[in-house]
A and B are shown apart, each in its own frame.
Chain A
Amino acid sequence: MKKAQSDAYVRKFSFRAFEGVRKGRVYRLWATSWQWWTHQWERSRAIKVLLGFIIFILVITNLFLLSFKDFMLYEPGTRIPLINPTTGEPMTTNNLLEQNLLELVRGLVTFQTSFSSQTPGGGEMGMSIGGLSIFILILIALVGSGLIADDVSNLTTEIYYSKLERHEYILGKFGAFFLFGNLVIVLPMVLEFFLLVAGLGEISLIQAFPVLIQTIIITEIIVLTFASIVLGFSALTSRRLYAGLAAFMFLFVLNMIIPSLAFSGQGEVGFQILFDVLTLLLLTSFIITGTTEVIYYPHGETSEISYIIDLANGSGIESWMVIGALAMYILLGFAIVVYQVYRRHAR
């Protein structure tokens, strides 16, 4: 605490001159995000357990892939390359990396493991870890639900608003979720890329680089979408339990119900699919990898029944609709947070 006042300054202006350290806005945002994310991390043991479990699944998946690499590249018992059904070319290690990494990424956001594609960037799926998404959803609901709701229930918003501007508060909350999202979604996939590159061998890093970029873009979009939705629910209530449950149910239940409605017609894909956030994320991932034709097997890939979603044929579901619908969800969540912080929490 400063002991002495500057008398001359006080006499002239009736208050003393500011003498303290003033950090910039970027620092404050970073400090705010970091602090809130560490609060959530420190509070919940379940978060650490779930994160450990996700890492365990990824390690197992890696071991599986590396152990059975030859079975995916060559005819059994020979060195004759398998033919890539999507390109008609012999399978390469790069193909293997691309297919498996992108499937891992898609497995983060879907319970439907029977989406496939016939164009480069998709290919036949070599493996599936769609079950990982349930843990990701639980994790993001656990972490994100309390970010705003806890402040409302503990009335700490008043303290924060006395130190931060409202937009700094909002950006700080999104930043906190982003830090977490990058840790559990983006970083594991980036590490996975390098592990696969190192483990599979015979891979040109330059050739594989676009896959890394695609992986980062897709996972960042996933994080942004989850951040917007979970924080939107968190801003709507003062109970983190309700916010977490609502966010989880919103993502999970819609993904359980809507695809079955959308794929019930005779070969036609219903527009209801645009209401399912997880399917939108999945389709967006195909769009980012340059895939415009996605095949869905409602009863598994061995079944004869399949639906084709052509995202660029000018009829039915189109790429712009998918991206537009996803953007609407992101904006809606963000708008709820802004409205609540500026209006509801202003008293």
Chain B
Amino acid sequence: MIELTEVSKAFGDVVAILRLSMSAKNGVTGFLGPNGSGKSTTFKLIMGELYPDDGIVRVFDEYPINNASLKRRIGYVSEHEDLYPWMKGKQFVTSLAKLILPREQAETAAKEAIKKVGLSVKGKRIKAYSKGMKQRLKIAAAIVHHPDLLILDEPFGGLDPIGRRDMKELISELHQEGVTVLVSSHILYELDEMSTRMVLIHRGQTLAEGPPAEILNIIDQFPHQILFKAPFNELQQLSKHLIDKDIVNTITFKRDKIDIDLVITTDNPNSFYSVATQVIAENNLLIKHLEVQTDNIESIFEFLV
């Protein structure tokens, strides 16, 4: 359905994509990569917005460059806040619908799309929208012409946890309706649940692609860092009970301003969480805060490379 074969793209001296190959079929394909890894460039190549310097891009068995009929089948949500602040939401979606749909259908399609994304606009101008509302509006504008392929570039950026959850539900719903979705993020947990396939991109190249479980297995090889915040004596107790466990690589006490934190690294996070939970419960330890520091995708990719 979507195939990139040995595709390269450079902007002057900066190589954005280098011999990148990947494919995506029906479902939700998550593009995971740190900022600047080439995710947006890949999307623009798929949409035919950019010419590849080398390699082949095929979308729905067609070449996307100068292919106006293919654009009719694609909906795109960019990572930017690309909206006219002076417009009203419905007006914005309708105006974009009119670029593709017959005039008489555009109004109805815009209403349907706005309803679908769960946006209550009530005549407000876009400048008064919250970040979450703007993201929904962008998706409404992207799906207003009923695309077969929906490309979402960093759709979770700036959303609060509820907004993220709603966005995931919306993407899953669109997938259920037969829309193929490409979604990018630099945060692992935003993609792993909803994706049917994942592609890891780093420095313009595909590191791995496949079902999320496989990708997560690869990522799990990276030593995870888990940070605990608690009174110092509680942290001492915790470290004393964990230090002889095989699953623990290192234990470090780290000063954070006036507090001292405990940082533990492990190669096997799943086992570690169950052991740590057991130790905390059995010893009745008071843990104030637990944070997985390896969510920083940059460090994972550095490790994988």
Contacts and interface: CB of A to CB of B under 8 A. Distances in A.
Partners in one complex: yes
Contact of B95 (A5, A22, A39, A162): A39
The CB with the most chain A CB atoms within 10 A, among B11, B68, B141, is that of B68
A2 B101 CA distance: 15
B114 interface: no
A133 B69 CA distance: 43
Nearest to A28: B99
A16 B66 CA distance: 22
Given A16-B178, A43-B86, A346-B49, A158 B78 contact: yes
A206 interface: no
Interface stretch (A121-129, A163-171, A190-198, A246-254): A163-171
B146 interface: yes
Q: How large is the interface on B (under 10, 10 to 19, 20 to 34, 35 or more residues)?
A: 35 or more
Contact of A163 (B99, B105, B116): B99
B81 A155 contact: yes
B98 A35 contact: yes
Q: Which of A15, A20, A161 has the most CB of B within 10 A?
A: A15
Given A154-B84, A158-B82, A1 B26 contact: no
Contacts of A8: none
Contacts of B25: 14-15
A158 B95 contact: no
B74 interface: yes
A41 to B, nearest CB: 13
A150 B1 contact: no
B266 interface: no
Interface string B70-98: 01111110101111111100000001101
A25 interface: yes
B82 A159 contact: yes
Interface in A162-189: 162-165, 168
A1 B143 contact: yes
Contacts of B82: 154-159
Interface string A7-45: 000100111101011110101100110110001000100
B101 A165 contact: no
B262 interface: no
26 contacts: A1-B177, A1-B179, A2-B177, A2-B178, A3-B177, A14-B25, A15-B148, A18-B60, A20-B73, A20-B145, A21-B102, A23-B100, A23-B102, A31-B98, A32-B99, A34-B98, A43-B86, A155-B81, A158-B76, A159-B78, A161-B49, A162-B75, A162-B142, A163-B71, A164-B68, A347-B11
